[in-house]
Chains A and B, each alone.
Chain A
Amino acid sequence: MIVRIFSDGQYRIPEDAQPRLHELDVQTVNAIDADDEAAFTSSYGALVELIHSAGERLADDDLEPSDLMLPPSDITLEEAREEFTGEGLIPD
């Protein structure tokens, strides 16, 4: 599976790391729902860390599309909430 972290790059994630990735993703969303900044920072930080450590970075000129996309690692809780409720972070 290929994951893109915005403002970072694309990573090929081995299958055995995927359950943990989903787990952290759910934790992150729960933290957003609970409006818990500290929990958000730590769970999203762990998610990014997992991708960096378990994933293999693709070259910049690789044209493979990603299966999953994540917001930038320094995203704030407020921006993340915008991602769910507003127009989303991605400009047209």
Chain B
Amino acid sequence: MAGLTGRMSTIVKAKVSKVLDRAEDPAETLDYSYSKQLELLQNVKKGIADVVTSKKRLQLQEASMQQQVVKLDTQARQALAANREDLARVALERKQSVQTELQSLDSQIGELEAQQQKLIDSEAAMRAKLEAFRTKKEVIKAQYSAAEAQVRISEAATGVGEQMADVGLAMQRALDKTENMKARASAVGELEDSGTFEDLTQLGPGKDDIDRQLEAIGAGGAVDDELAKLKGEMGAGAPPPAALDAPAPAPDAAEPAQGAEPAEDAEPAQDAEPAQDAP
């Protein structure tokens, strides 16, 4: 049959028999494939470790992008509060693009996870077959004539050989995926280093241009916020502020109307970065 199944079968059978044909007597066949299997299982262990490392790296990247989303969201709020809708828009646009990136990262991590699981399952099946094979070989040798035993052992060895090809493929696919992820992660790293990425999704804790512009208006906005917050906290004793009034129904964006300009008074309260607190 010429279908996909036929093609795959032909290739695997050819490869398996190539391996098995190297040995002439049953015992040799067994020993040969047994050592071959042990070798393979060692490689699989390394392969799994590699996939895990790669996955962790992506997960770290994911975590820092999640922080970036929170940060951009905060910036957008701050900008709005300062009546800087333009700035808020930029922050939200960046947030969008980081979120898109996050989604693709998420699905890549998922794929890697799936490949890892397949590799682990394949390896487990391989171990099971290997054990069965070692037991069966003795049974066969005890029960059959040399010629018959040869046939039966070859058949059993073929079953093991198939599983070997299966593990081999699972490993190759997992490693291919891992390579792709590594390439991607280092591409992102390079963009960060060159500063290109900074514009879009700055990952580090440093300040970007939105921060700087916010700071520029911060003396007014953020300090006012601080003031308003402080006033709120201390409000208990003070004359009831606007708290119970109907909340300013102004439909235009910015709710914090404290923007009037008490900023002047607030000037001396220039903390290192008051912007951080406003959630």
- B170 within 8 Å of A (CB atoms): yes
Q: In the docked arrangement, what's the CA distance between A7 and B125, Å?
A: 10
- B156 within 8 Å of A (CB atoms): yes
Number of A residues whose C-beta is below 8 Å from B?
36
A80 to chain B, nearest CB (A): 7
Interchain CB contact (< 8 A) of A69 among B9, B132, B171, B173: B9
CB neighbours of B1 from chain A (8 A): 22, 25, 68
Which residues of A from 1 to 34 have beta carbons under 8 Å from B? 3-4, 6-7, 9, 21-22, 25-26, 28-29, 32
- CB of A9 within 8 A of CB of B168, answer no
Which residues of B from 135 to 188 have beta carbons under 8 Å from A? 136, 155-156, 158-160, 162, 165-166, 168-173
B278 to chain A, nearest CB (A): 46
CB neighbours of B104 from chain A (8 A): none
Task: Report B's interface with A, CB cutoff 8 A.
Answer: 1-9, 11-12, 15, 114, 118, 121-122, 124-125, 128-129, 131-133, 136, 155-156, 158-160, 162, 165-166, 168-173
CB neighbours of B124 from chain A (8 A): 60
CB neighbours of A63 from chain B (8 A): 129, 132-133, 136, 155-156, 159-160
Chain B interface, >50% SS class: helix
Q: In the docked arrangement, what's the CA distance between A67 and B5, Å?
A: 9
| A47-89 near B? 1/0 per residue, CB < 8 Å | 0000000000001111111111111101000001001100011
- CB of A28 within 8 A of CB of B3, answer yes
B132 to chain A, nearest CB (A): 4
Interchain CB contact (< 8 A) of B121 among A7, A62, A83, A84: A7
- CB of B129 within 8 A of CB of A60, answer yes
Which residues of A from 32 to 53 have beta carbons under 8 Å from B? 32, 44
CB neighbours of A3 from chain B (8 A): 5
CB neighbours of A32 from chain B (8 A): 4
A-B residue pairs, 9 tightest by C-beta: A25-B3, A61-B132, A60-B128, A63-B159, A61-B128, A65-B158, A63-B156, A60-B125, A7-B118
Q: In the docked arrangement, what's the CA distance between A8 and B155, Å?
A: 21
A11 to chain B, nearest CB (A): 12
Q: In the docked arrangement, what's the CA distance between A56 and B124, Å?
A: 19
